[in-house]
């Protein structure tokens, strides 16, 4: 089975990240290729969103010397690829963190075989695994025999984009401009932003997360056809949270879960992990990655401080007060609260993923196109999936 097919099947079975790639080493290698084609396109393209999909789209448009702009709602590029720089002595991935593929995927994303030589990776295969059942711990170190994937050693996913993709695009990105209306009734597509600024283009690529599309922040003129809005609404994207806490001592195993071990690795993940594992660091940083129904009770608490206090309470119970005793500092990244993200990542297409994706990526009247992690058939919910979807949308426009 190829990696892509494995991921697809795992998602269908409700197996979530980071564990859905448990058996990745047993999978065949998928090729990721930046598309190459002939084009005589001479119009203007606007990309909505400067996350992985939008940046990849810009990267390809730049290669083909197309006139384009990227309109971003927030004040930064990256979207769900985000970095905390000054937290400890290594940069922290507040969003995407694992490379859910062979590291060779990085060179393939930007079509430059040379770059892997300049990036240090770690093999992420934790050695100590435990589960807490509310009263006692059980060991699950056998998991180290089958779980292994990759992470960046001294950089992050954000650092990758910052170094290899964004530099050529910086003067094309317009920040703090949430698009609220897309009028595709005429020859040109007219975008209106929250500040009542207007932008015009021949073609538009929307990379806003599906949850943003579902929330009707953006209105369309004419309205979206029912088939399109039904397809968009059939994709799930629920809560997402990451928290990092620095301690004076490492009193926890490399990876631990609350509840039954294998069940905790289902689609509704809640995983505590040593975020400094094999990094160039002497600091002790515990990460919490949680999505969907496992993240929801934390998100419902409202403030970052309330979320942090709840997690500390849980850790103190598990580790007999050691969390409070050794606490230094923390950072909370609540993805559900980000106004232009609104959650973690997409999954569960009511068992009809390919049709759903094809309906959405068919676009609107050959003028408005859609991209983003949720619209990659083979690499959904990953950074490379987002890039792939951005490239596919550009190829559709230019060919
Ligand atoms: C907690 C968490 C952990 C993850 N872990 C991993 C991992 O380990 N490995 C991995 O490969 N992937 C991981 N992912 C998934 C990965 O981060 C995403 O698949 C990918 O970054 C999504 O890119 P995107 O461009 O599709 O969307 P986004 O990154 O969400 O970009 C969309 C952009 O559109 C902008 N936007 C939205 N609405 C508007 C509007 N109206 N006007 C203008 N701009 C707008 C947003 O501000 C944003 O910048 C994780 C995600 C989360 C949340």
Query: Running along the chain, 399 residues long, what does each successive block of 10 average in pLDDT?
Result: 44 44 45 90 98 98 98 98 97 97 94 88 96 96 92 97 96 98 98 98 98 97 97 95 98 95 77 97 97 96 98 98 98 98 89 92 98 94 97 97
Q: 33 alpha carbon to ligand 1 midpoint, in Å?
A: 21
> What confidence score (pLDDT) does residue 267 get?
66
Tell me which residue has its CA closest to atom 12 in ligand 1.
Answer: 382
Q: 81 alpha carbon to ligand 1 midpoint, in Å?
A: 6
Residue 174 in 3-state DSSP? strand
Tokens of 279: 């990094």
Q: Residue 336: which residues within 8 A CB-CB, separation 6 or more?
A: 239, 240, 241, 295, 299, 342, 343, 344
Distances (CA, A) of 306 to 67, 298, 334: 46, 8, 12
How many whole angstroms separate alpha carbon 24 and alpha carbon 235? 25
Ordered structural domains, the chain, with CATH: 3-398 (3.50.50.60)
Task: Please choose from 22, 74, 79, 294 the residue to mutate so as to test ligand 1's pocket, defined by most ligand atoms within 8 A of CB.
Answer: 79
With beta carbons less than 8 A apart as the criterion, state whether 281 and 88 touch.
yes
For residue 373, the ligand 1 atom closest to its alpha carbon is 26
How many whole angstroms separate alpha carbon 264 and alpha carbon 258? 7
> What confidence score (pLDDT) does residue 14 get?
41
Q: 207 alpha carbon to ligand 1 midpoint, in Å?
A: 9
Q: 241 alpha carbon to ligand 1 midpoint, in Å?
A: 13
How many whole angstroms separate alpha carbon 100 and alpha carbon 149? 7
How many whole angstroms separate alpha carbon 145 and alpha carbon 127? 9
For residue 344, the ligand 1 atom closest to its alpha carbon is 53
My answer on whether omega of the bond before 18 falls inside 30° of 0, hence cis, is yes
Residue 131 in 3-state DSSP? strand
Residue 339 in 3-state DSSP? coil
Distances (CA, A) of 180 to 70, 74, 144, 232, 327: 15, 13, 47, 17, 43
> What confidence score (pLDDT) does residue 269 get?
86
341 Cβ closer than 6 Å to some ligand 1 atom: yes
How many whole angstroms separate alpha carbon 370 and alpha carbon 95? 22
């Amino acid at each position: 089975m190829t990696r892509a097919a494995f991921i697809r099947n795992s998602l269908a079975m409700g197996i979530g990240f980071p564990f859905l790639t448990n058996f990745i080493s047993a999978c065949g290698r998928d090729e990721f290729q930046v598309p190459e084609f002939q084009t005589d396109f001479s119009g203007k393209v606007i990309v909505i969103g400067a996350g992985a999909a939008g940046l990849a789209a810009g990267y390809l448009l730049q290669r083909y010397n197309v006139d384009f702009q990227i309109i971003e709602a927030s004040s930064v590029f990256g979207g769900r690829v985000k970095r905390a720089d000054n937290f400890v002595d290594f940069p922290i991935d507040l969003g995407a963190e694992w490379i859910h593929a062979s590291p060779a995927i990085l060179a393939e994303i930007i079509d430059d075989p040379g770059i892997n030589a300049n990036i240090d990776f770690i093999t992420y295969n934790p050695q100590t695994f435990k589960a807490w059942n509310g009263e006692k711990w059980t060991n699950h170190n056998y998991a180290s025999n089958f779980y292994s994937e990759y992470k960046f050693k001294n950089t992050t996913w954000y650092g990758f984009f910052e170094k290899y993709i964004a530099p050529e695009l910086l003067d094309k990105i317009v920040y703090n401009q949430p698009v609220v209306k897309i009028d595709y009734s005429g020859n040109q597509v007219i975008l209106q932003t929250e500040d009542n600024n207007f932008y015009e283009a021949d073609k538009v690529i929307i990379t806003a997360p599906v949850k943003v599309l579902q929330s009707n922040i953006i209105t369309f003129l004419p309205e979206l056809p029912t088939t399109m809005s039904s397809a968009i609404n059939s994709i799930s994207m629920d809560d997402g949270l990451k928290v990092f806490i620095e301690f004076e001592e490492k009193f926890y195993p490399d990876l631990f879960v609350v509840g039954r071990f294998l069940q905790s690795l289902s689609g509704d993940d809640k995983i505590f992990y040593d975020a400094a594992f094999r990094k160039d660091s002497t600091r002790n940083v515990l990460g919490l990655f949680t999505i969907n129904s496992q993240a929801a009770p934390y998100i419902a608490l409202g403030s970052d401080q309330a979320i942090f206090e709840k997690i500390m309470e849980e850790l103190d119970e598990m580790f007999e007060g050691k969390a409070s005793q050794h606490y230094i500092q923390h950072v909370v990244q609540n993805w559900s609260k980000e106004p232009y993200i609104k959650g973690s990542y997409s999954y569960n297409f009511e068992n009809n993923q390919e049709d759903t994706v094809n309906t959405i990526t068919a676009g609107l009247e050959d003028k408005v196109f859609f991209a983003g992690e949720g619209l990659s058939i083979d690499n959904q919910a990953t950074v490379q999936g987002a890039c792939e979807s951005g490239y596919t949308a550009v190829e559709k426009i230019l060919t």
